[in-house]
Amino acid sequence: MTASTTIAKAPARPRRPKGQRVGRAVRDYGSLAGLLFLLLVMFLPFLIITINAIKSPAEYSTNGPLALPSGVYLTGIINFWNRIDFTTCLINSMVISLSVAILSTILSLLNGFALGIGRMRGTVWLLVFFMIANMLPNEAIAYPLYYFAKFLHIYDTQLAVIIIFTVIQSAFGTYLLASVLRPFPREVLDAARVDGCNKLQLLIRIVAPVSKPSLLVFFAFSFIWTWNEFFLPLIMLPDNSKQTVPIAISVLQGQNFMDATTTASSALLGVLPCILFFLLFQRTLTKGIMAGSLK
């Protein structure tokens, strides 16, 4: 906010008096220290969970939750892993999230192509319609979906969850891609037509490759959103062997075998995949958070 923020290109200014320079240094390093402290507070819950997940129950009961572990004790994590068959949970989450990410990206591209390139009449209203549908609370569609799924004998299957979230996530993707494709140069489309390109070829050969960056941003968001979904998967997947990671871990809380270190292990196992995705998708996500904020 003060002069110091101006970038190097600004014309040279007279040197400031020493007192002011010192003042600014205090201010800058003070902010740095304050922010580092706050960041530590942000990380504290993760640190606490981690040090207790790798503690033995005996050590926990002697030294309490704040003591650092004397060594790395992985038995608690391994026991919990085997008990809830975490491998299956990971596979379930992976299958559902990947399928939804792929299918919803394709569906969004088709919709975005029709609305953005096609510029059909009523496009604005269709987009408003997609956007409102995107914001509807899951509760307002949950019971009929639950009922339909039972009727169609796809209740308690991953297929039901995949279909539902493909549609829910693509509501946002449609909006995103229609906006991205709207300013697509008309000359390119005309040239393609002159070359005898039909619409499907136009979509696959020209529009899809050009919109790849937006498709990737949406793919990453769709994947993480689906991984994190809670209400509908909780309702649609009652069977432990079909549950996703967040559901399987959440429904076990408060059970008898969940002592302090086991609960810490369960929390750590729930957090770790997300940190992995965060590191994996970090650049894509920061690029798209503003776009994704409509969710």
Partner 1 sequence: MESRKAIKRKGSSLDSGYWVFLLPGLVMFLLVIILPFVVTIGISFTKWNGVTTPKFIGLDNYATAMGDTAFWTSFQNNLSLILAMVVIPTILGLLLAGLLFSYIAPRFGVRAANFFRAGFYLPQVMPVAIAGVVWGWILAPDGALNALLQAIGLGMLSHDWLGDGGTALFSIMGMMIWFQVGFPLVIFFTALQRTDPALAEAASLDGASPWQSFIHITLPQIRPEVFVVVLVTTIATLKVFGQVYVLTRGGPGVSTLVPSYYVYVNFFTDAKVGYGSAIATIMAAIIIILAAVFISFQSRQDLAEDF
Query: Whole-angstrom Cα distance, residue 206 to residue 187?
Result: 12
| Number of residues lying near partner 1 (CB under 8 A) | 109
The span of 72-80, 82-90, 210-218, 231-239 binding partner 1 (CB under 8 A) equals 231-239
Any contact of residue 267 with partner 1 (CB under 8 A)? yes
Any contact of residue 142 with partner 1 (CB under 8 A)? yes
The span of 3-11, 70-78, 84-92, 94-102 binding partner 1 (CB under 8 A) equals 3-11
Any contact of residue 182 with partner 1 (CB under 8 A)? yes
Applying the rule CB under 8 A, the residues between 58 and 77 that interact with partner 1 are 64-66
Q: Mapping DSSP to helix (H, G, I), strand (E, B) and coil, where does residue 218 land?
A: helix
Smaller CB distance to partner 1: residue 147 or 257? Answer: 147
Long-range contacts (CB closer than 8 Å, 24 or more residues apart) made by 132-137: 133/171, 134/168, 134/171, 134/172, 134/175, 134/294, 134/295, 135/294
Smallest CA-to-CA distance from 232 within 168, 151, 153, 152 is with: 168
Any contact of residue 42 with partner 1 (CB under 8 A)? yes
Cα separations (Å) of 146 from 93, 170, 258, 281?
20, 20, 30, 33
Any contact of residue 141 with partner 1 (CB under 8 A)? yes
CB of 82 to partner 1, least distance (A): 19
CB of 71 to partner 1, least distance (A): 20
CB of 295 to partner 1, least distance (A): 8
In what helix (H) or strand (E) does residue 269 lie, and over which residues does it extend? helix 260-292
Among 90, 94, 98, 167, binds partner 1 (CB under 8 A): 167
Applying the rule CB under 8 A, the residues between 108 and 137 that interact with partner 1 are 108, 110-111, 113-115, 117-120, 123-124, 126-128, 130-133, 135-137
Any contact of residue 96 with partner 1 (CB under 8 A)? no
Among 183, 185, 196, 209, binds partner 1 (CB under 8 A): 183
DSSP character string of 26-85: HHHHHHHHHHHHHHHHHHHHHHHHHHHHTS-HHHHHHH-SSSPPSS---HHHHHHHHHTT
